[in-house]
Structure formats: structure tokens, C-alpha cells
């Protein structure tokens, strides 16, 4: 599903965020990429999600060589194959949960009625079928993150990238979100969790440890 070969990312000023990283993630895996601040894991997320192109090396997502794709093709790949969940929920205030999720499908080419149908299904899937008409300020932190997860999976992506998905939550809500990610993985979604929390990483089947832009080990 994901293959990186000798990938580097060097920013202006000579700052090296990735120093020649090779990584393979197979279809259906549940993986943690773990490391402290400044380890390169956020840059790794951007590269895995095709939000940023590498300075050198090869990135393949679902067999597509990212370097050979135009910006429009990359946008299409993200819209159809990759879902994103961030630490901050990025929900529109004053907009009910159903529409927050449906709006994530605006660029899918689907009719409005189909987008809303898929949004309702995704909210049911994350256990929020009874909260569809609630706005973000009426939801708990854990519920807002579940809405964000529903938005990420409404388009049925092959890959879900979760960037510090429990960072803004208390321990109980965070545990609930991690259980949800495990359920999505059990349903066939490839899930990659980027985190600095070693306890969260240790609870997942595979851990990729990073420091200073390099992969130190895999367990």
C-alpha cells in the first residue's frame, strides 16, 4: 500500500527533515510511527499523504509513483485513497456533524444526497448516529474526534493517516478513539498512527521508531 525508498526531504536553509528513509507498509496493516518532536515524523506524514513531495527518493502509494503524478492527479489520489485525522479536529463551527462529514466529500464528484447518505453511514460506523444533528460545541472532545474520523473514512479510503489523534483528548476519550482506529483496521483499512506517545505505539502491532529524520528500528 505504501512504499518509500531512500526518501529525503531537505527544506530551504539546508534543514534535513528526512535523511534517506525506506519503509514498506502492506495493505491492511496497523502501524505506529513514533518519535519525539523534531524526529521527522510530521514530515513523514506529509510525504505519506502526498501533501509534500520528497527532495529525492521514490514514494509509491497504492502502486502510484507520486513523482509521476501531476498536482491534479495527486489531489485526486488524496481524495479517493487517503483519509486524514489530525490532533485538532478542524470541524466547522455552527455546522452540524452530518454536514461536517458530508462536506469532506465535496470534491468527490458525488451528488449532495449521496454525500449525506455516506456521511450518515460513517457517523453510524463511529457510534454517533444519535448525534448527527449536533454542532461541534454540543459534542465532547472525544465525540468531535469521532466526527473527524467519520469525515476521514466517509470516502472509504484505502489508507487512514492519523496525526496525534489522541493529543487533544483526556485518557478515556483517547482510549476510545484508539479502539475506533483498531475497529477500522479490523474492517480492512490500512491505518498509520503518527504519535510521540510510546504507550500508544506499544499497543499497536507494528512500531516504526524515528529520530533525527531517520528510522532507528522497527518492532
Output the DSSP codes for the chain: -EEEEEEEEEETTTEEEEEEEEEEE-TT-EEEEE--TTSSHHHHHHHHTTSS--SEEEEEETTEEGGGS-HHHHHHHHHHHEEEE-SS--PPTTS-HHHHHHHTTGGGT--HHHHHHHHHHHHHHTT-GGGTT--GGGS-HHHHHHHHHHHHHTT--SEEEEESTTTTS-HHHHHHHHHHHHHHHHTT-EEEEEES-HHHHHTSSEEEEEETTEEEEE-
Predicted local confidence at residue 88, as pLDDT: 87
pTM confidence score: 0.90
pLDDT single digits (tens) 15-43: 999 999 999 999 999 999 999 999 999 99
The top-level CATH class assigned to 27-50+70-218 is: alpha beta
Predicted local confidence at residue 106, as pLDDT: 84
Model confidence at 203: pLDDT above 80:
yes
Q: Which of the given ranges, 69-78, 167-176, 206-215, has the highest pLDDT on average?
A: 206-215
What residue spans define the domains of the chain? 27-50+70-218
Instruction: Give 75 or 92, the one with higher predicted confidence.
Output: 92
Model confidence at 87: pLDDT above 90:
no
Predicted local confidence at residue 31, as pLDDT: 97
Model confidence at 78: pLDDT above 90:
no
C-alpha 23/C-alpha 123 separation (Å) is 32
Amino acid at each position: 500500500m505504501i512504499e518509500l525508498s531512500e526518501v529525503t526531504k531537505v527544506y530551504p536553509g539546508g534543514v534535513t527533515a528526512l535523511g534517506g528513509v525506506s519503509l514498506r507498509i502492506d495493505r491492511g496493516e496497523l502501524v505506529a510511527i513514533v518519535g519525539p518532536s523534531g524526529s521527522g515524523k510530521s514530515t513523514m506524514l506529509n510525504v505519506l499523504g502526498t501533501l509534500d513531495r520528497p527532495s529525492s527518493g521514490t514514494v509509491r502509494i497504492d502502486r502510484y509513483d507520486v513523482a509521476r503524478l501531476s498536482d491534479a492527479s495527486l489531489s485526486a489520489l488524496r481524495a479517493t485513497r487517503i483519509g486524514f485525522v489530525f490532533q485538532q479536529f478542524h470541524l466547522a463551527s455552527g455546522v452540524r456533524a452530518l454536514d461536517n462529514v458530508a462536506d469532506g466529500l465535496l470534491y468527490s464528484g458525488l451528488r449532495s444526497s449521496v454525500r449525506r447518505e455516506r456521511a450518515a453511514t460513517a457517523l453510524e460506523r463511529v457510534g454517533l448516529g444519535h448525534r448527527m444533528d449536533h454542532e461541534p460545541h454540543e459534542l465532547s472532545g472525544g465525540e468531535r474526534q469521532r466526527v473527524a474520523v467519520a469525515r476521514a473514512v466517509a470516502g472509504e479510503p484505502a489508507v487512514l493517516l492519523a496525526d496525534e489523534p489522541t493529543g487533544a483528548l483526556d485518557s478515556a476519550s483517547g482510549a476510545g478513539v484508539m479502539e475506533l482506529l483498531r475497529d477500522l483496521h479490523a474492517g480492512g483499512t490500512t491505518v498509520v498512527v503518527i504519535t510521540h506517545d510510546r504507550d500508544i505505539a506499544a499497543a499497536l502491532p507494528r512500531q516504526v521508531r524515528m529520530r533525527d529524520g531517520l528510522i532507528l528500528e522497527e518492532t
